[in-house]
């Protein structure tokens, strides 16, 4: 991102002035950040509804929501977007109503303001599409096009997955050791992503060039705000965690 100061100001305005949460960042380019926006609606059993949208540094408007045509009560998560030839291709997971039956929804268009749905992939509950390859996880397994890449023991849960210039990023929750952000790099090595001089795990993050975009968790239910840092590094996984992760196949041919 070319102007993190302005981007942080926009996000702080959205959070503190508009009372809208931000979550699950994905950096499209130097001007545009996709993410989820959380809206409080006490009319329904669940207080927050997460919607896909973006922040454009070239616009005075604070943020834009995509018209996904999904019901207002639908929860939208984990945006992933890239440009191929003349089309932008967006994938995210969502439920069509207030339940836990999620599917992957895919949209495309020649500009991000007019993306149109073109595919629903029911078998993918958590994942994304990239250049006709399907990255997803089921239970404790990470797969690409039905090929098993990583196998986790049952004391580890995968919460989110994304792609970056360095490799796949994974948010995992270990029953004993807590939350970790992992990088599965292009050499099939797994590292922990950490912020310098901080005990905070960069929750549900995205890496783009020298920027780590991540979500900070507040004290309240679904209290989320996106933040950024240049000061991150990679560390080897402790043996007591790595023994619960099995690398089954090389994934680098899919990118």
Stretches where the chain sits below pLDDT 70 are 41-48, 96-100
CATH number of the domain enclosing 196: 2.115.10
Distance of alpha carbon 141 from the chain centroid: 18
Report residue 167 as tokens.
Answer: 């490799």
pLDDT tens-place string over residues 100-122: 688 999 999 999 988 998 888 98
pLDDT tens-place string over residues 207-224: 998 999 999 988 877 889
**Contacts of residue 115, Cβ cutoff 8 Å, sequence gap at least 6:** 66, 88, 90, 107, 108, 109
CB 18 within 8 Å of CB 71: no
Please provide the DSSP assignment of 77-123 as one string: EEEEEEEETTEEEEEEEEESSSSS-EEEEEEEESSGGG-EEEEEETT
pLDDT tens-place string over residues 139-149: 899 999 999 99
Tell me the sheet residues that pair with 157.
173
**Contacts of residue 254, Cβ cutoff 8 Å, sequence gap at least 6:** 130, 133, 135, 144, 145
**pTM of this structure:** 0.93
Tell me the sheet residues that pair with 183.
169, 191
Q: Which domain holds residue 178?
A: 4-254
Please report, rounded to a whole number, the percentage of residues in the chain having pLDDT higher than 90: 75
Dist CA 164 CA 191 (whole Å) = 14
pLDDT at 182: 96
* Closest to 106 in 3D by CA, of 94, 35, 86: 94
Number of domains composing the chain: 1
């Amino acid at each position: 991102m070319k102007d993190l100061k302005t981007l942080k100001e926009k996000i702080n305005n959205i959070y503190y002035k508009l009372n809208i949460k931000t979550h699950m960042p994905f950096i499209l380019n130097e001007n545009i950040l996709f993410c989820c926006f959380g809206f409080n609606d006490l009319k329904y059993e669940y207080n927050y509804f997460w919607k896909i949208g973006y922040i454009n540094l070239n616009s005075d408007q604070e943020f834009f929501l995509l018209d996904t045509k999904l019901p207002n009560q639908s929860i939208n998560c984990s945006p992933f977007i890239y440009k191929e030839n003349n089309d932008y291709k967006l994938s995210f997971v969502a439920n069509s109503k207030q339940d836990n039956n999620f599917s992957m929804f895919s949209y495309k268009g020649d500009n991000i303001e007019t993306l149109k749905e073109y595919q629903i992939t029911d078998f993918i509950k958590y994942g994304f599409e990239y250049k006709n390859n399907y990255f997803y996880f089921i239970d404790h397994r990470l797969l690409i096009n039905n090929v098993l890449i990583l196998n986790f023991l049952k004391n580890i849960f995968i919460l989110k997955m994304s792609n970056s210039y360095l490799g796949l990023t994974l948010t995992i929750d270990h029953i004993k050791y807590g939350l970790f952000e992992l990088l599965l790099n292009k050499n099939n090595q797994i590292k922990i992503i950490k912020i310098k001089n901080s005990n905070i795990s960069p929750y549900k993050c995205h890496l783009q060039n020298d920027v780590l975009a991540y979500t900070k968790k507040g004290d309240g239910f679904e209290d989320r705000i996106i933040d950024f840092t240049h000061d991150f590094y990679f560390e080897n996984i402790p043996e007591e965690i790595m023994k619960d992760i099995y690398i089954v196949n090389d994934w680098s041919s899919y990118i």
